[in-house]
Structure 1
């Protein structure tokens, strides 16, 4: 992988323990090289510095984290600490419940809401020994692909704070990218794990719909039939480990799948025998020249890894955004706040009010008809996966744009929908409920990260991990760090 000038660039990693991967942290504990308190202290320092520059934290949980770290430190010294993530810091997106901690969900309407229970994913992480350090920023109700909200303001990108982090899991991705702990939990209704992960240069996974339970729900339960919960990490191994922990059946979530627990093999091997379909534009999407060029280079890497790469895609309806996604997504957004009045929404963003208004104007017939078209898109993917084992596309059609904007309205001279048109590769995958990941595959001319999306058949996360691990070995993106992380690390080392 090269920087924006075409040179190979592997700057030194930050020196803080929060910049280590989860597997490195666990190995350090086994060697007794450091303690959970050491890791949490370094992680909190990184979070505080990153928050000042990028605005990634909604609610700090630092004292709770230190207390839990002290408890685990004592257990480790006594040889009693257990759990696959014992002593590993994680952050939780503010749409996901943590008992006793506010869940604003980016909305002023939730300023007094404090859930009494943990979401299933948080319970699983705590049971594994993970230490929750904070809640991270999101946009209001997760309605757009940036993390800006009336509650927290604008979330920025650690590669360039003048640019957006993406969203809606923007605080999660920015924190991982800046070395503020190895694992973040995000949610993804139209791309909200993959877009910020692509913009911030990290690995993000949206599992198969229903594999990771969402119970007891989001706040509010927006994107009801579209939203997935998943990990954002710097390495494939950390994402695989996290998914092993958080996947599981929960009867409180009607969409939860009763799938047995699995272990994922992330040992980098040849991709011989893997058939990969590749589409740079899904047949209709506008895409920036820098993203197009990085995608072409990524295909050569996959080919060199042994994959059989052919230009192929699902052949989706070019009108899928207006005629399928919007009637479903906007109606579900409106339903999430159906009990709220115009006065209740007065403090919300104008763009959010527009989405809710549009959702309220779709009829029941519109919603059901969109569901039929959604079934046609699903069938298109079924047919595609008869020919190939996985699909790769760019993750986003552009790189991170100016912070504070909802999106871009033009790509390479073509007009696009400013809300969702610049991310044409992510939300079709939500409509189908498929698993998908994004991994870094290059940089644009300004040095901003570019992502490659890997899509596999339902419940075939192993194929995603296999392809991603091989790509990671060939192009080790985790050696790249934003200058913000390096600068903060140097400042802490001098302190």
Structure 2
């Protein structure tokens, strides 16, 4: 796929429509430069090409998408679009229910699962006029930070197909990076929106816990107290637009927050008066040299935009993974599939069975004790946010590693946990329920994307959008795209 082209008369070449931002598509529909049916054909073509190269689609919904695009085309031609996303394509991660489409969730045990109900976020998107194009790849039950599963195989990174896309929302992030439409829905239990978005060089937002409902249908309900649903996009404005559409209250999710409808201003502006705390390693984490270099440069840019940088604002103990996260996350993962029995897990990959077995081995006391420590971690962030308005860190401690691997076990000469130790910046934010986003901030020596994580206080997604939009304007990344053939 080639870089975008605009003719001298201002018309956009038909085979570039799939690469346009959602806000550009809506403007094109309004001015009748092209139609939703034009766009959906380009998106389907791009998805087919990218899927052949990177394996990003589990279940296509192309005929339904064409029919929805025809309806949206009529609505725009009559001047009566039904919602703020009318005619805009969006993909849905395969952990999230779409009525009538299989919900495999990377699990062989779900081979016959076809829900008859939409998840709340899908209902909200359809009400806004968005067009569901496909279900995207994930690992089994979202348990790891890649999108490899026994159901769909290995998902690859469009920047280098020998490398992982990250996960578990890997199909979503890789398809957005490759230009297969502007918007995707992902989920994030220990970093599953932010990690693949960072690895693939796109924007991902994990909203405040409960801001976006997960019910009905988040199968299985793994990472029960940790999982979030949120947007993946190529631009900050698009991610904000998608978050506005899905940040709704739904009583079917006990964690859903009854807050008013949100709006986010993605207009770039100076960051004068904003105190931004920076931490390159949370005080203990091993971080690759290229990541540290890109992070320092990003922090300097934020300072040049007027932000007051408070260095080394976060200092955590190195045992958080073993003493807080694993007893909670692994226990919740085991509980999510407890009813299946051992035989149903025989087709699962061995790493997943190991996680389930470990989760089943924790006692109730260990789970509750981890909850107490989790609350202490939350209180630590409350104290930090008394001194700064937002925090920035690297999104991941490494760039994309070889496709098919669970992770890495060494960073800059330091041994780390292969499952989660190379992503020390993501899961603490799930433990606290804070909102966080990743935005592109550079490349490593091999040309692989690097992400900058922005963390804000609870329900202050607007501040994240403001900081991200300012950085995006100063360091635009949308011109950098993987070369797909």
Shared fold per TM-score greater than 0.5 = yes
CA contact (8 A) 2:187 2:227 kept: yes
In structure 1, distance between residues paired with 2:416 and 2:386: 32
CA contact (8 A) 2:283 2:314 kept: no
In structure 2, distance between residues paired with 1:70 and 1:82: 13
Deviation per CA, 1:6-28, whole angstroms, max 9, x where unpaired? Answer: xxxxx943752110000000010
In structure 1, distance between residues paired with 2:81 and 2:280: 47
Name the SS for the 1:437 alignment partner: strand
Name the SS for the 2:231 alignment partner: strand
CA contact (8 A) 1:276 1:391 kept: yes
Counterpart in 2 of 1:154?
Answer: 154
Deviation per CA, 1:398-454, whole angstroms, max 9, x where unpaired? Answer: 000000000000000000000000000000000000000000000000000000000
> Structure 2 matches for 1:369-408, cutoff 5 A?
369-408=369-408
CA contact (8 A) 2:183 2:231 kept: yes
Deviation per CA, 1:107-154, whole angstroms, max 9, x where unpaired? Answer: 000000011100000000000000000000000000000000000000
Counterpart in 2 of 1:316?
Answer: 316
- Select between 436-445 and 13-22 the one with higher mean Cα deviation: 13-22
In structure 1, distance between residues paired with 2:332 and 2:262: 32
In structure 2, distance between residues paired with 1:73 and 1:431: 43
Name the SS for the 1:310 alignment partner: strand
Shift of 1:363: 0.2
Counterpart in 1 of 2:354?
Answer: 354
Counterpart in 2 of 1:27?
Answer: 27
Is residue 226 of structure 1 aligned with residue 226 of structure 2? Answer: yes
Number of aligned positions between the proteins: 475
Name the SS for the 2:353 alignment partner: helix
Deviation per CA, 1:228-253, whole angstroms, max 9, x where unpaired? Answer: 00000001101111111100110000
Counterpart in 2 of 1:172?
Answer: 172
Is residue 138 of structure 1 aligned with residue 129 of structure 2? Answer: no
Deviation per CA, 1:247-270, whole angstroms, max 9, x where unpaired? Answer: 011000000000011211111110
Shift of 1:83: 0.9
Is residue 52 of structure 1 aligned with residue 52 of structure 2? Answer: yes
Is residue 412 of structure 1 aligned with residue 412 of structure 2? Answer: yes
In structure 2, distance between residues paired with 1:82 and 1:339: 42
Shift of 1:341: 1.5
In structure 2, distance between residues paired with 1:356 and 1:319: 21
In structure 2, distance between residues paired with 1:259 and 1:396: 31
Shift of 1:316: 2.1
In structure 2, distance between residues paired with 1:61 and 1:93: 13
Counterpart in 1 of 2:95?
Answer: 95
> Structure 2 matches for 1:332-347, cutoff 5 A?
332-347=332-347
- Select between 69-78 and 471-480 the one with higher mean Cα deviation: 69-78
Q: Which runs of 5+ in 1 are unaligned?
A: 1-10, 488-495
Name the SS for the 1:480 alignment partner: coil
Is residue 85 of structure 1 aligned with residue 85 of structure 2? Answer: yes
Q: Which has the higher relative contact order, 1 or 2, with Cα contacts under 8 A spaced 6 or more apart?
A: 1
Counterpart in 2 of 1:477?
Answer: 477
Counterpart in 2 of 1:205?
Answer: 205
CA contact (8 A) 1:212 1:249 kept: yes
In structure 2, distance between residues paired with 1:222 and 1:240: 26
Deviation per CA, 1:320-359, whole angstroms, max 9, x where unpaired? Answer: 0000000000000000001122111000000000000000
TM-score scaled to structure 2, two decimals? 0.97
Shift of 1:82: 2.3
CA contact (8 A) 2:118 2:217 kept: no
Name the SS for the 1:343 alignment partner: helix
In structure 1, distance between residues paired with 2:366 and 2:411: 29
Counterpart in 1 of 2:4?
Answer: 13
Counterpart in 1 of 2:467?
Answer: 467
In structure 1, distance between residues paired with 2:31 and 2:427: 43
Shift of 1:470: 0.2
Is residue 72 of structure 1 aligned with residue 63 of structure 2? Answer: no
Q: Which runs of 5+ in 2 are unaligned?
A: 6-14
Q: Which runs of 4+ in 1 moved over 6 A?
A: none
CA contact (8 A) 1:13 1:479 kept: no
In structure 1, distance between residues paired with 2:27 and 2:66: 20
Counterpart in 2 of 1:7?
Answer: none
Deviation per CA, 1:75-101, whole angstroms, max 9, x where unpaired? Answer: 222222221100000000000000011
> Structure 2 matches for 1:264-283, cutoff 5 A?
264-283=264-283
In structure 2, distance between residues paired with 1:29 and 1:341: 51
CA contact (8 A) 1:13 1:481 kept: no
In structure 1, distance between residues paired with 2:348 and 2:164: 20
